[in-house]
């Protein structure tokens, strides 16, 4: 790797949208190590910047914890199969999507409901959030 491709930690932090302290923490945890150190300062190359973006994306989404992200990033070198962690994370994503879809359906209907106080008065909204109901359905208009 050409040294011109390396960026200092502050630039890496700006490019990835995380703090310098976060990058130091991820380095200390062995999640993403810098490509080099110059004068005691961490420097990151394109590969490390990509990995930092992966960590940021997965962590912000709440998809995987840092240990699971490290398994994924390090692959077989981690000594553990990363697939179960990713599978579990994907299940959490699908559950989040389901919950957000239900919330969106509720809010969309609330906006179009003719009642003055839809939360209390609308039978469609009551049905959407009824305890013990089988599967959510999207209300028609």
pLDDT tens for the chain, residues 1 to 141: 566 799 999 999 999 999 999 999 999 999 999 999 999 999 999 999 999 999 999 999 888 999 999 999 998 888 889 999 899 999 999 999 999 999 999 999 999 998 888 888 888 898 888 887 666 555 554
Element housing 48 (H / E): helix 46-61
Sheet of 41-44: strands edge to edge?
A: 7-8, 41-44, 36-38
């Amino acid at each position: 790797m050409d040294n011109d491709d390396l960026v200092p930690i502050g630039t890496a932090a700006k490019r990835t949208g995380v703090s310098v302290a976060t990058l130091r923490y991820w380095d200390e945890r062995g999640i993403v190590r810098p490509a080099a150190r110059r004068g005691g300062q961490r420097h990151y190359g394109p590969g490390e910047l990509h990995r930092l973006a992966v960590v940021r994306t997965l962590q912000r989404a709440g998809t995987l914890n840092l240990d699971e992200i490290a398994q994924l990033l390090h692959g077989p070198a981690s000594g553990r199969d990363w697939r179960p962690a990713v599978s579990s994370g994907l299940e959490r994503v699908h559950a989040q999507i389901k919950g957000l879809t239900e919330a969106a359906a509720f809010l969309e209907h609330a906006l179009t409901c003719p009642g003055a106080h839809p939360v209390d008065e609308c039978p469609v909204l009551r049905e959407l959030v009824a305890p013990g109901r089988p599967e959510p359905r999207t209300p028609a208009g």
